[in-house]
Amino acid sequence: MLPYVVHDSRFERLVIGHVNLEKLFTGCRWAEGPAYFPAGRYLVWSDIPNNRMMRFDETDGSVSVFRSPSFNSNGNTTDRQGRLVSCEHFMRRVTRTEHDGSITVLADAFEGRRLNSPNDVVVKSDNSIWFSDPTYGIDSDYEGQQSPSEIGASNVYRIDGATGAITRVVSDRVQPNGLAFSPDETRLYVADTGATHVRGLPPTIWSYDVKGQTLGEASLFATCPDGLYDGFRVDIHGNIWTSAGRSVFCYAPDGTHLGTVPIGEIVANVCFGGPRRNRLYICGQTSLYSIYLNTRAAV
């Protein structure tokens, strides 16, 4: 039985017929934010309610605790210098782990008010850092610390790579969540999981034209038929590989749903890894999975 479902013939060129969906680890409460480090061939991801970050070693398949406490870290990525960039719910900040292990705070407030709970993060080729800031980490004590929003809205922000200045780039989403740039960085994709807070609101992904340090108008890219879109990454062809309820969906740049990889539990986020960056790592609710593809990461 194939580990995927083909909806469009273009998907057949992106998958391998005889691969398996591998379960690499289980025992998380809510697995999130995978980030791959090619120099060490390991993956780091967050287990938010357990207040820890985990580490999967590709060379021997071992799993260990990478950081505890993690301040309820959520989204993670690597910058262009190979450093870990993390969103922390409890501390309501974005941090960078330096090569010597020290922690640098990149953002914890905007216009004098504390951030909500940074969620997902991506780094652009100009070294700017873009992150979403919904309220999930302050909604309860389960994934952070219950607190009122000082900003009063959920936005997406940009941290300038040279000056560290923070600007608001998206303010028209209810709960902005997953982020990813197209391979040529002319589009920023943003998931809106506001359906968790607004009854009847469709779960969506939006596409924004990138205009230097700002964004143009949003256009609807996709609507999830069941569950929510959360986190996603883009391959070299511009296809979006996204969590979608209990599956991973693959969308073409034109918005066509090409194929589905059923996981069997709620999926939070994905990233590409492996020496050839053709291994898709998948954070399900309780477990870490992977599947090899016939495509690879855009960056």
Percent of the chain whose predicted confidence (pLDDT) is above 70:
100
What pTM did the predictor assign? 0.97
Per-residue CA distances from 165 to 80, 84, 87, 102, 265 (Å) = 18, 19, 17, 21, 39
* pLDDT confidence bin for 2, thresholds 50/70/90: confident
Average pLDDT over residues 43-58: 98
Cβ neighbors of 143 (< 8 A, separation 6 or more) are 30, 48, 49, 72, 74, 89, 117, 136, 137
- Please give the pLDDT value at position 160: 98
Residues, the chain: 299
Average pLDDT over residues 191-211: 97
pLDDT in tens, 217-259: 999 999 999 999 999 999 999 999 999 999 999 999 999 999 9
- Please give the pLDDT value at position 1: 75
Q: Across the chain, what does the average pLDDT equal? A: 97
Q: State phi, psi for 196 to the nearest 5 degrees.
A: -70, -15
Q: End-to-end CA distance of the chain, in Å?
A: 31
Closest by alpha carbon to 232, among 32, 11, 24? 32
Average pLDDT over residues 197-212: 97
pLDDT in tens, 92-145: 999 999 999 999 999 999 999 999 999 999 999 999 999 999 999 999 999 999
155, HSE (Cβ side, Cα atoms, 13 Å): 19
CB atoms within 10 A of CB 18: 7
* pLDDT confidence bin for 299, thresholds 50/70/90: confident
- Please give the pLDDT value at position 285: 97
Average pLDDT over residues 65-90: 98
Closest by alpha carbon to 230, among 88, 142, 132? 132
**283 vs 246: CA distance, rounded Å:** 11
**156 vs 134: CA distance, rounded Å:** 9
Where b means 16+ CB within 10 Å and e means fewer, 149-172 reads bebeebbbbbbebeeeebeebbee
- Please give the pLDDT value at position 40: 96
Q: Which residues pair with 243 in a beta bridge?
A: 248
* pLDDT confidence bin for 293, thresholds 50/70/90: very high
- Please give the pLDDT value at position 31: 98
Cβ neighbors of 200 (< 8 A, separation 6 or more) are none
- Please give the pLDDT value at position 202: 98
